[in-house]
Every structure is written in C-alpha cells, then in structure tokens.
C-alpha cells in the first residue's frame, strides 16, 4: 500500500501543494461547496479514480469519477463513509 509519506518522498512538491490546498478546501466548505480529496484513511483513494467527496455538512462519500470520451465527467457514489 502506498502512503502519503511515500508520495512526498517521491515528489516533495506534492507536500507543499497538499498543505496549501487544505486552506482552500476549508474555504470551499465554508462557502457551501463540496470538496474531493484522497486520504490515507481510505487507501483505495490514493490512486486511480476513487475519491472522498465531503459536503459542507460533514457527510463523506467514496465516489468514483470517470471522464468519458466526449469529455463529460461522470460521478458515482460507491458508499457513505460516515
């Protein structure tokens, strides 16, 4: 299983990006906009097309995101996480 420590070792710039994006994510949630992210707590999200989707009310879902050949973004809820 790959961890954030592994990712940061391979690409130190990613840590800077992640830390800066935390602030941005907080602002999005405060504005009422859901956010998507990867989290070690859910290892299946660390690569590929699975992400955590968090709503401003705190609800979290594991979602699958796919880009179709005609450039539409499809999102499928896999399961609720909390």
Q: Which of 54, 73, 70 is nearest to 62 (CA)?
A: 54
Q: Is the model's pLDDT at 29 over the cut of 80?
A: yes
CB-based contact 54:81 (threshold 8 Å)? no
For the chain, what percent of residues have pLDDT higher than 70? 100
The CA distance from 34 to 58, in Å, is: 9
Q: What is the pTM of this model?
A: 0.75
Q: Is the model's pLDDT at 20 over the cut of 80?
A: yes
Quick: pLDDT tens for 49-75: 999 999 999 999 999 999 999 999 999
Average pLDDT over residues 1-25: 87
CB-based contact 29:54 (threshold 8 Å)? yes
Q: Is the model's pLDDT at 2 over the cut of 90?
A: no
């Amino acid at each position: 299983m790959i961890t954030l420590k592994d990712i940061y070792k391979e690409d130190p710039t990613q840590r800077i990006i992640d830390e800066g994006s935390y602030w941005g994510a907080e602002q999005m949630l405060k504005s009422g906009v859901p956010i998507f992210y990867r989290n070690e707590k859910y290892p299946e999200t660390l690569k590929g097309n699975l992400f955590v989707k968090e709503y401003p009310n705190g609800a979290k879902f594991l979602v699958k995101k796919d880009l179709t050949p005609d450039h539409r973004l499809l999102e499928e809820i896999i399961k609720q996480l909390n």
